[in-house]
Amino acid sequence: MTAPVKIAPSILSADMAYLARDLGYIANADLIHFDVMDGHFTDNLTFGPDILRAVKRVSTVPCDVHMMVSDPDHTVDWFIDAGADIITVHWEASRHLHRTLHHIRERGVKAGVVLNPATPVSLLEPIIEDVDIVLLMSVNPGFGGQRFIPQTLEKIRELGAICARHRVSPMIEVDGGISAANIGEVVRAGANVIVAGSAIFVPADPATEVERLRNLANEALTERRA
């Protein structure tokens, strides 16, 4: 039986002055999406391992750490030591992707790969059996609040076909521009982990938005199974 869709609020859209409060608002989430940007791979600069440690002190929700950094081999251990439950690294930034993925898994953390919007999913064929999760960016990485790129839907379907050929079932995560208006089509295409930032944190009641997105996603999952 297909597992329920997971909702992963991105704390990039949280209020950093009241982070513990905002984490409390999303205690009903399945994952916390934790965007690490180094100011080189992206133009933005965000969170280091000390912030992850702080998150782990006040929340029991597993942390999904998205490494938007130019040299993930140099930094993944910082975030593993800080308590990451999942780490994804960019195909575009990884010089030794197979080695990096296996290192993360050997340290007891789920490992995955991220593709930017212009990167074809066919590049995952050589390593698809070595990942726990694939994250497809549906916006160009760096900043929240961008519009969903529609071509992502075809990439999700292509990824599903690759997984079927290899008889593997990694989590398929999508990040960028997802809201109540389009979550259904993203799930029907094959995604089962949904990242949402402003769609959750801008409304007055983030917990209600998490539940609303979860309900819409699982309705779409039922349609996909039918």
pLDDT single digits (tens) 144-169: 667 899 999 999 999 999 999 999 99
- pTM across the whole model: 0.95
Residue numbers of the domain that contains 81: 6-225
Q: Using one digit for the tens of pLDDT, what is the confidence trace for 22-74?
A: 999 999 999 999 999 999 998 889 999 999 999 999 999 999 999 999 999 99
Active site residue 175: yes
Which domain CATH number covers 194? 3.20.20.70
35 is catalytic: yes
Residue 1 lies in a domain: no
> Does residue 138 carry a pLDDT above 90?
yes
Higher pLDDT, residue 9 or 145: 9
pLDDT at 145: 67
Choosing from 22, 35, 38, 132, which is the catalytic residue?
A: 35
Give percent of the chain with pLDDT exceeding 70. 97
In a domain, residue 113? The reply is yes
Structural domain total, the chain: 1
Give the chain's mean pLDDT.
95
**pLDDT > 90 in the chain, percent:** 90
The model's confidence at residue 225, banded by pLDDT at 50, 70 and 90, is confident
Catalytic residue among 22, 30, 38, 175: 175
| Residue whose pair of structure tokens reads 């930094």 in the numeric block | 75
| Structural domain includes residue 71 | yes
Q: Is the pLDDT of residue 143 over 80?
A: no
Whether the per-residue pLDDT at 5 is higher than 90: the answer is yes
